[in-house]
Chains A and B, each alone.
Chain A
Amino acid sequence: MHKYYKIDGKDFSIAGEASSDFKTVLKKLGTPAEIVRKVAIAMYEAEINTVIHGGGGECDAAIEKDKIVITFRDQGPGIADISLAMQEGYSTANDKIRELGFGAGMGLPNIQKYADDMSIETEVGKGTTVVLSINL
């Protein structure tokens, strides 16, 4: 089972559509609620980041035999210091994003908390790829 999503970087109001769709898919497949919840939160945070920091991109979501693997790719500014970005409360989000209730610097820590595995590949000026997986 595999799903591909384009992630629009311009319209914040539709950010989360991919996560919403994939959550529905998992529920339909009868995935245990606890797993659906972990996937939904981690994926939604990653999707929001792709929109607000990465300027949009794409997402692959795959259901494998023993895990769910979700990849977000963007061609945005990249992350200069990953360990700094991983710290709770660190955020470069602008005021506009903060007014909408995001940009508290909890996204990456949150993904790490809910995903069983997470990796970030990034290059300044080139883009960022975040891969998260949740065991079934």
Chain B
Amino acid sequence: MLLSEIKTILNAQVLTGEDDNVLENTNINTACGSDLMSDVLAYVKDQSLLLTGLINSQVIRTAEMMDIIAICFVRGKSPAEDVISLAKQKGVIILATDLPMYPACGRLYQKGLRGRSHAQIL
């Protein structure tokens, strides 16, 4: 799913300043939702979008370590300026939506964006 579609589906803002052209050229294969960075580090395989309610700088660093392309902050949370500049510096795209975690994940899933293990479990 293109990041531009994700932005539309979640009615999200782009906090790191990428224009539509970048979003239209960024493909997201799978996503994960978690407020526990330790779990992201332990279980995430190759998900390229992380939805989270946490907005501290370690979320950006976790994304960087895991090669996560984009983060979407849920529940209308907005991170501090230094967190956004860290994301820019590390090349991580940040979106923000007012939707809570469950509906945000649900909307994306309904439109076909799956998580890890989908194939394995079914």
Contact = CB atoms under 8 A, between A and B. Distances in A.
A106 B61 contact: no
A100 B58 contact: yes
Main secondary structure, interface of B, reads helix
Contact of B58 (A16, A23, A107, A109): A16
What class of interface size applies to chain B in its complex with A? 20 to 34
B38 A20 contact: no
Interface residues of A, number: 25
Nearest to B54: A101
Interface of B: 35-39, 41-42, 52, 54, 56-59, 61-62, 64-67, 82, 90
Contacts of A103: 38
List the 8 shortest-distance A-B pairs measured between CB atoms, nearest first.
A104-B38, A101-B37, A16-B61, A106-B38, A40-B65, A106-B42, A13-B57, A44-B65
B36, B56, B57, B65 — which one has the most chain A CB atoms within 10 A of its CB? B65
Contacts of A41: 41, 65-66
A19 interface: yes
Contact of A101 (B58, B66, B82): B58
Nearest to A43: B65
Interface string A40-66: 110011001000000000000000000
Contacts of B41: 41, 44-45, 106-107, 110
